[in-house]
Amino acid sequence: MIRKKIRALLSLEHDKIEDTEAIESIVSGITFRGANLWILVCAVLIASLGLNMNSTAVIIGAMLISPLMGPIMGMGLGMGINDGDLIVKCLKNLAVATVFSVAASCIYFVLSPISDVRSELLARTQPTIYDVLIAFFGGFAGIITTCSKSKGNILPGVAIATALMPPLCTVGYGLATRQWLFVYGAFYLFLINAVYIGFATWLGVRILSIPKRQVDEKHRLLLRWSWLIVLLIFIPSIFTTYRIVRNEIQGNRVTQFINEEFGTNKDLHVVSHRYIEGDSINTVEVTVVGKPLTTEEITLIEAHMGTYHLQEHELKVVQSSPLESEKDKLTREKDLIKTWFNDIQLRSLSIQSQNDSLRHEIRRLERKIERLTEENKRLEAERQAATATQKKRKTEKTK
């Protein structure tokens, strides 16, 4: 009984459109030529500007207008219904879209005077298993929305979540600046997104029971290669995820060690710390000020490192005098004040620009009010004249 109710709640049949309509809806967005290609290039340039300016809002705007989802979902559909010709067509169009996207972004970054690495660029260079999951669930939401009667506003969210456009722009940046690790990392992220959106589309097609077509040996081989690519794309992301999680755990251990071993000493203040990876041994470097630690005290603290699973690490304590610390503090405060001053200047310019815009809008509204007042006066005069004419006619009739 409960199982039937759960099945009824999760069933997609009552909201599903016709199979032919669903297929046509996906196939219509596959081809890249004419307007579709121009829209793609515009989206690439907008995303490149966003990456260059480190603006998340601009990047999101580019993702919303990007038509890259079409051929990727088409590949998943082709795998789901055993249509090898559709898979080949989607691969060709995706290759065209990829080449145009990378070329446009590369040209932009070659011409751009700003070549600094920003956080939005760095975020696209280290794909992990989490990106696989995002692409998969985003693609699954996309195919369900495409095949349902109530479309809602899901597809824009899918476009933002899966982020197909920024990795290609980062590839263009890497080529323009000859940073090959950026090219590798960003293109691998794009492959993850494309492959697992396609894989999720295939799963959605099978769950929705869209009829398969008869497949010959040539297309069967193509489908096998498609599944092999899905697996091969997944494997490297596991190692990247493992490395990131390991570093996160190690960082937490180092922070806990410093807080408990140095932070409890009231005569000391920890200025900074860093984790240095070496060829044979890793080092935890801690910079402190206050009462100097003796060699015996440092040795004792180092002996406690095993408690935090840091037994194979070396401890390096850099001790600064209070005078040097005060100098560093003043320097940091000076830099902070400079940053605040620059920020205030930028805000002031922004407010001034907004004020100018508001003044212009007020003048425009005042002119409009003047025109409406004049028009109102004219209409009132016409009304009074008409009233006077009617009274005159009534008087004449009475006589």
| Predicted pLDDT at 99 | 93
Backbone angles phi, psi at 287, to 5 degrees: -105, 125
Task: Using DSSP, state whether 299 is helix, strand or coil.
Answer: helix
- Residue 106 pLDDT class (50, 70, 90 cuts): very high
Kindly report the number of other CB atoms within 10 A of residue 97's CB atom: 24
Whether 259 maps to a domain, the answer reads: yes
pLDDT at 325 > cutoff 60: no
The pTM (predicted TM-score) of the whole model is 0.63
Would residue 170 count as lying in a domain? yes
What are the tens digits of pLDDT across the range 127-182? 777 788 888 888 888 888 888 876 656 666 666 766 788 888 889 988 988 888 88
C-alpha span between 300 and 295 (Å, rounded)? 9
Kindly state whether residues 25 and 141 are assigned to the same domain. yes
CA 241 to chain CA centroid, nearest Å:
18
What separation in angstroms does the CA of 305 have from each of 51, 251, 258, 300? 41, 13, 10, 9
Percent of the chain with pLDDT over 90: 5
CATH of the domain at 67: 1.20.1080
Over the chain, what is the mean pLDDT? 79
What tokens were used for 158? 């899918």
Rounded to the nearest 10°, the torsion over CA 338, 344, 348, 354 is 130
pLDDT tens figures, 170-217: 899 889 888 888 888 888 888 888 888 888 888 888 888 788 777 666
Task: Name residue 148's beta-bridge partners.
Answer: 16
- The answer on pLDDT for 321 being more than 70 is no
Q: Which of 291, 324, 357 is the C-terminal boundary of a domain?
A: 324
* 260 and 143 in a common domain: no
Specify the DSSP element, H or E, that contains 151: none
Domain identity same for 195 and 106 = yes
* Backbone φ/ψ region at 309: left (φ over 0), alpha (ψ -120 to 50), beta: left
pLDDT higher at 41 or 245? 41
Residues 72 and 208 in one domain: yes
Give the confidence band of 336 by pLDDT, cuts at 50, 70, 90: low
**Same structural domain for residues 33 and 119?**
yes
The answer to the question of residue 284 being in a domain is yes
Select the more confidently predicted residue: 176 or 3.
176
Specify whether the CB–CB gap between 153 and 141 falls below 8 A: no
Instruction: Please tell me the distance from the alpha carbon of residue 115 to that of residue 120, in angstroms, as a whole number.
Output: 13
CA-based nearest residue to 168, from 36, 33, 62: 62
Does any domain span residue 222? no
In a domain? residue 246: no
**In the predicted model, what is the mean pLDDT of residues 360-372?**
78
**Claim to verify: residue 209 and residue 126 sit in the same structural domain:** yes
CB-side neighbour CA atoms (13 Å) of 394? 6
| Residues 70 and 113 reside in one and the same domain | yes
> In this structure, is residue 394 part of a structural domain?
no
164 and 190 together in one domain: yes
The residues near 102 (Cβ < 8 Å, ≥ 6 apart) are 168, 171, 172, 175
Domain contains 188: yes
Residues 317 and 358 in one domain: no
pLDDT tens digits along 10-21: 666 667 778 788
CB distance 60 to 160 below 8 Å: yes
Residues 78 and 170 in one domain: yes
The answer to whether residue 380 is domain-embedded is no
352 pLDDT more than 80: no
C-alpha dist (Å) from residue 232 to 92, 134, 180, 225, 238: 21, 18, 21, 10, 11
Q: Alpha carbon 185 to chain centroid distance?
A: 15
Q: How confident is the model at residue 308 (pLDDT cuts 50, 70, 90)?
A: confident
The tally of domains found in the chain comes to 3
Report the CATH number that the domain containing residue 263 is assigned in CATH.
Answer: 3.30.70.1350
Among 166-170, 227-231, 337-341, 366-370, which range has the highest average pLDDT? 166-170
Of the candidates 266, 290, 324, which is a domain's last residue? 324
**Residue 160 lies in domain:** 12-214
Q: Diameter of the chain by CA atoms?
A: 127
pLDDT given at position 34: 85
Which pair of structure tokens corresponds to residue 306?
């095993």
**Within 13 Å of residue 179, how many CA atoms lie on the same side as its CB?**
19
Mean pLDDT of 107-136: 76
Q: Is residue 266 domain-shared with residue 357, that is, in the same domain?
A: no
CA separation for the pair 122, 112 (Å, rounded):
18
Residues 50 and 127 in one domain: yes
The H or E element that residue 390 is part of is helix 322-398
Burial grade of 64 (CB within 10 A; 0-12, 13-18, 19 or more) = middle
SS3 319: strand
